[in-house]
Amino acid sequence: MKPVLCLAAGLCFLLISFAHAQEAAPIVPVPDGAAQAGPVVVELFTSQGCPSCPPADAMLAELAGREDVLPLALHVDYWDYLGWVDAFARPHHTERQKAYARMEGSSMIYTPQIVVGGQHVIAGARPMKLAERIMVERGRPVGMVLNAERTGHRLRLRAHVLRRLPEGGALLVQLVRYAPLRRVEITGGENAGHHIDYVNVVEEWETLERWDGRAPLDLSTELPGEAAAAVLIQREGPGPIIAAARVR
């Protein structure tokens, strides 16, 4: 069992060693002249079992109505052994959070923890810091155009680079399916007795293609069901999110 620590500042973390994990390349910074298109992606790593997470969950809910921000709740599974199993948790979310930690050179992961634009990591529910990082991402000049269009149960993606992007790994074209709202009555664990509304709960995360960005992208794929969806183009690593689009 990994030790769990909760701090007075309102944040919990697990002490996890990645000494034997596969090493990842450092984050490729996004310089002036190469930037994110579309909404700023805000990933919240959270859990129904984490006592410090409800303020961060509420903070994410406040962002859900903004067109210039795409908030995504990734529920992690490492709290499940403490008395309440989070039905939204996915092992992939935990692995993604660990990958971000490796990119930072960190041996710890936190709940709640936020990643803005694939590169700005914030531990805890810190609204001023989050607003600052969103403004930084919004201020970057656009480096890529991305269009995502749904027709029936088909999705067509088109993207092209407007200016030179920083060198790095492949660009991952990722499809995210999420539930806009889920209300949960928690009857066990650290948050027992609470009813919590969770927004943009990630249910599926799929890499559609590895793209070098040289030729324009024109990709079609099946998109069954009515679940909300978004497309992210991100440096492999995970690194910076270069472009994002909601599927309309």
pLDDT at 25 over 50: no
Between CA 109 and CA 41 the distance in angstroms is: 19
Between CA 243 and CA 130 the distance in angstroms is: 19
Between CA 240 and CA 117 the distance in angstroms is: 6
Predicted local distance difference test score (pLDDT) of residue 236: 94
Q: What confidence tens digit (pLDDT) does each residue in 74-101 have?
A: 999 999 999 999 999 999 999 999 999 9
Predicted local distance difference test score (pLDDT) of residue 167: 75
Pairing of strands 154-161, 217-222: antiparallel
Predicted local distance difference test score (pLDDT) of residue 38: 92
Q: Please check whether residue 78 is in contact with residue 92, taking contact to mean a CB–CB distance below 8 angstroms.
A: no
Predicted local distance difference test score (pLDDT) of residue 248: 85
Q: What confidence tens digit (pLDDT) does each residue in 175-192 have?
A: 999 999 999 999 999 999
Q: What's the number of CA atoms in the CB half-sphere (13 Å) around residue 28?
A: 19
Q: What confidence tens digit (pLDDT) does each residue in 188-234 have?
A: 999 999 999 999 999 999 999 999 999 999 999 999 998 999 999 99
191 Cβ neighbours under 8 A, 6+ residues apart:
48, 49, 50, 51, 53, 54, 84
Q: Please check whether residue 240 is in contact with residue 34, taking contact to mean a CB–CB distance below 8 angstroms.
A: no
3-state secondary structure of 61: helix
pLDDT-derived band at 141, boundaries 50, 70, 90: confident
Q: pTM, whole model, 2 decimals?
A: 0.86
pLDDT at 18 over 60: no
Q: What confidence tens digit (pLDDT) does each residue in 94-125 have?
A: 999 999 999 999 989 999 999 999 999 999 99
3-state secondary structure of 228: strand
Retrieve residue 28's tokens. 């490729």
Mean pLDDT computed over 4-14: 51
Between CA 24 and CA 21 the distance in angstroms is: 9
